Amino acid sequence: MQEVDFQNDYEALSDEELVRLFKEGVQDVFGELAVRYILVIRNKSGGLYNMGIEAEDLFQEGLIALHTAVMTYRNGDGASFYTYASKCIRNRLVSAVRTVNSNKNKINNTAVSLDLHNSEQYDPETDPEKLLMADEGIKELMELAHSNLSDMEMKVLALYIDGKTYEDISEVLGISVKSCDNAMQRVRKKLKSLYMQSE
């Protein structure tokens, strides 16, 4: 692999390379992955945001699932990280909605569902304490997002996760489509830097 200036060139790396770096202790690469997977979280949230759970909560659950996927993914087991993470995200989002709607105490389910196409990728040796700490780290990241994103940026992000197009968002918020795009660009940049702060 070529020499990379990690502060500036994470975008040049594949998802699998970022996962490897994360496991080697380069924690801030998760910010890059979080930005890459905003659209996946949005797509996997489709139809769920009207089922008793807020868009912001779905986004947090999606980030937790992404973190779990990073920690449990084993390259070379047949599935790309994208495929594996997408299944982890969808399973966690569906589970979160079911939990909210069943009025049971919320349990952080950090295990990868056995119905995954590549279920053998689940590593039972993954330390549950580390996974719980990851959940807490993502919650801290969301708190940082609240304090660092403007009200407009938070609204645009929530509507985007809800599945709204930029055109829809511009109508709801009374801003231009370009302003929506600019807000999402700022959200992406801030998310990348916020994960470094949460470490």
3 state SS for 5-36? CCCCCHHHCCHHHHHHHHHCCCCCHHHHHHHH
Unique residue bearing structure tokens 């995954």: 116
Rounded to two decimals, what is the model's pTM?
A: 0.68
What residue type is assigned to position 116 of the chain? L
Residues in CB range of 38: below 8 A, 6 or more apart: 160, 161, 188, 191
Instruction: Report how far residue 35's alpha carbon sits from residue 10's, in angstroms, rounded to the nearest whole number.
Output: 11
Q: CB atoms < 10 A from the CB of 136, how many? A: 12
Helix (H, G, I), strand (E, B), or coil: what is residue 51? coil
**pLDDT tens, N- to C-terminus, the chain (199 residues):** 444 444 457 888 999 999 999 889 887 788 889 888 988 888 888 766 666 677 778 888 888 899 889 989 987 677 899 999 999 999 988 888 888 777 544 444 444 444 444 444 444 344 555 555 555 666 666 777 777 888 898 888 888 877 788 999 999 999 999 999 999 888 888 877 766 555 5
User: What does each C-alpha distance from 42 to 5, 109, 162 come to in angstroms?
Assistant: 30, 20, 7
Residue written as token pair 């890459």: 36
Tokens representing residue 92 in the block: 């966690």
* Cβ partners under 8 Å of residue 158, min gap 6: 54, 55, 56, 59
Domain boundaries, the chain: 10-148+192-198
